[in-house]
Amino acid sequence: DTAVSQTPKYLVTQMGNDKSIKCEQNLGHDTMYWYKQDSKKFLKIMFSYNNKELIINETVPNRFSPKSPDKAHLNLHINSLELGDSAVYFCASSQGWKRQRRGDTQYFGPGTRLTVL
């Protein structure tokens, strides 16, 4: 009954490869997010989707491409991986952007630790 799940939990790969991280939420939320946590634990938004529509893209390199096949899923595909992509990637979801709720709480997945060698 996990609320926000991500796969895989760990991903080790070589520079130049292409990889994907999957995220699913069973909370019935409309909005999903990707955040990146660097080695110093700093967290920054990358993307946000509302009901399959992209609403936030925070100047992320276009090697990163999110895809939302339906509102319960938001996947992250990364092309031509670089050493600097090594980080923990968190997926999150919330009830919704369009509902304009104050304090709209975001619920986070367990994270995917990506290591690029």
Partner 1 sequence: GDSVTQMEGPVTLSEEAFLTINCTYTATGYPSLFWYVQYPGEGLQLLLKATKADDKGSNKGFEATYRKETTSFHLEKGSVQVSDSAVYFCALLIQGAQKLVFGQGTRLTINP
Task: Verify binding: residue 70, partner 1, rule CB under 8 A.
Answer: no
Stretch that binds partner 1, among 16-24, 50-58, 67-75, 78-86 (CB under 8 A): 50-58
Task: Verify binding: residue 43, partner 1, rule CB under 8 A.
Answer: yes
DSSP letter at 95?
Answer: S
Q: Which of 81, 94, 114, 116 binds partner 1 (CB under 8 A)?
A: 94
Residue 92's contacts (CB-CB under 8 Å, 6 or more residues apart) are 4, 32, 33, 34, 35, 106, 107, 108, 109
For residue 50, the minimal CB distance to partner 1 (Å) is 8
DSSP letter at 94?
Answer: E
Q: Which of 51, 64, 86, 111 binds partner 1 (CB under 8 A)?
A: 111
- 50 exposed, middle or buried (CB, 10 Å; 0-12, 13-18, 19+)? buried
Closest to partner 1 by CB, 86 or 106: 106
Query: Distance (Å, rounded) from C-alpha 3 to C-alpha 17?
Result: 30
For partner 1, the binding residues (CB under 8 A) are 4, 31, 33, 35, 40-45, 48, 50, 55-56, 58, 90, 92, 94, 97, 100-111
